[in-house]
Copies of this chain bind each other. A is one copy, B any other.
Amino acid sequence: MKYIAILGLGVVGSGTADLFYANKKEIAARVGDEVQLKYVLDIRDLPESPYADKIVHDIEVIIGDPEVSVVAEVIGGLHPAYEFTCRCLAAGKSVVSSNKELVATYGAELLGLAEEHGVQYLFEASTGGAIPVLAPITRDLAGNRVQGISGILNGTTNYILTRMFRAGATFEAALTEAQEKGYAERNPAADIEGIDACRKICILTATATGTLIDPAAVHTEGITAIRQSDVQVAAQAGYTVKLLGRMVEQSGATFVMVAPFLVPAASPLASIEDVFNGVLVKTDFAGEVLFYGRGAGAHPTASAVAADVISVLRGDAPRRRWSKSDGGVPADFALFTCRHYVSLCGVEKSAVGVVWSEAELLPTEGEEIALLTPMISEREFEDELARLGASGARLQAHIRVLD
């Protein structure tokens, strides 16, 4: 018999408990031993919960029980999740986590602490919900050099952008709809400002490269400035607007960013809609590989938590060692090069043509000029925009283009 504990009986914690009960027999066969949920840590009593008899309020009960070999931390937030994780690892228990904030912040230390104590720290559920992506990068693409990652990593923003694209909704209307459906929080800042996606691209980048970068060093833009008219103009030109977390290699430099991008219709990312997530991994031998599925939700996230628990118990967990970035990664965003979608007003097309002679003008209604610039660096873009500003141009919208 193997015993596990769950820290936090919220949405993911309940889903994880549900899974271990629902698929008890299958899991026993796969592990080669019965797996039993022994404790659930929560500050509440939750007498209505089917797991009420497992609830303890004191982490010491779990830490002090040598029978518990794996702990699932699904509390979220930095504290007390960090302290609990350290205590469990130091007590010789493997920890699996859905906590993207914790992994993106303290992942390197916690992996080191796990190695020091001969246990595992796994976090498949922190990125992409149900989608197997971290373990496949570590294990199933291990023969490759990962050259790039582009992911739709946040279901809330993808739902909003899908409604803007499919139903002609404004950003505000689509956000309200997402809130009504329970896809967006009442305070949606972490999603719509790109903070959630930023943590996830940091975790993905570290998984692929072994280097964990500070989320604060990542150029991060959300989707609040995307207008319905931009989505329509882009659609007519064959693009869909998506919020992407990206790791991009250019001229030997590694750029990491979160920003909305115009995604060409032929990209496998273009057809990922609603609350689904997808991660496109570019490699030297395998080429482009896409992982797609539900990026959030009680049961999908529980699937990833359970995979990690089972992996620990079977002894086939992916082993990782991360160092913290010494500052070389991410590279200076001013040097990142791509095409840019720009909408301007207060300027003549001829003046735009002087600055961007190879720009592709897009058909628009009204007085705005919409165009796609040639490949230019962020710095060049800013400089050229300033020149146009001197001629009276006012920037209405700016979205980068995925090549």
* A interface residues (Cβ-Cβ under 8 A, vs B): 15, 19-20, 22-23, 26-27, 30, 124, 130-132, 135-136, 139-145, 268, 270-272, 283-294, 297, 299-300, 302-307, 309-311, 314-319
Q: 13 pairs across A/B with beta carbons < 8 Å?
A: A23-B143, A23-B145, A30-B142, A131-B286, A132-B136, A140-B304, A142-B307, A143-B305, A285-B300, A286-B299, A286-B304, A289-B293, A290-B293
Contact A291 B291 (CB under 8 A): yes
List, in ascending order, chain B residues with CB within 8 A of A299's CB: 284-287
Q: Closest 9 CB pairs between A and B?
A: A143-B306, A132-B140, A130-B286, A286-B303, A290-B292, A289-B293, A285-B303, A132-B136, A316-B316
Say yes or no: A286 contacts B292, CB within 8 Å.
Answer: no
Chain copies in complex: 2
Tell me if A139 and B130 are in contact (CB < 8 A).
Answer: no
Given contacts A144-B23, A144-B303, is CB(A286)–CB(B291) below 8 Å?
no
Q: Which residue of B lies closest to A29 (CB)?
A: B210
Q: In the complex, what residues of B have CB within 8 A of residue A293's CB?
A: 286-290
Q: How far is the CA of A142 from the CA of B145 in the complex (A)?
A: 27
Cβ–Cβ < 8 Å partners of A140 in chain B: 124, 132, 135-136, 304, 307
User: Given the complex, which residues of B lie within 8 Å of A142, measured CB to CB?
Assistant: 27, 30, 306-307, 310-311
**Are A143 and B316 within 8 A (Cβ)?**
no
Q: How far apart sit A379 and B270, CA to CA, in the bound complex (Å)?
A: 40
Partner of A143 from the list B270, B292, B302 (CB cut-off 8 Å) is B302
Q: Are B311 and A139 in contact (CB under 8 A)?
A: yes
* Complex contacts, A284 vs chain B, CB 8 Å: 22-23, 299
Query: Which of B22, B268, B302 is A292 in contact with, Cβ under 8 Å?
Result: B268
A27 close to B316 (CB less than 8 A)? no
Contact A139 to B135, CB < 8 A, known contacts A286-B130, A319-B314: yes
Task: Indicate the member of A142, A292, A318 with the most B CB atoms within 10 Å.
Answer: A142
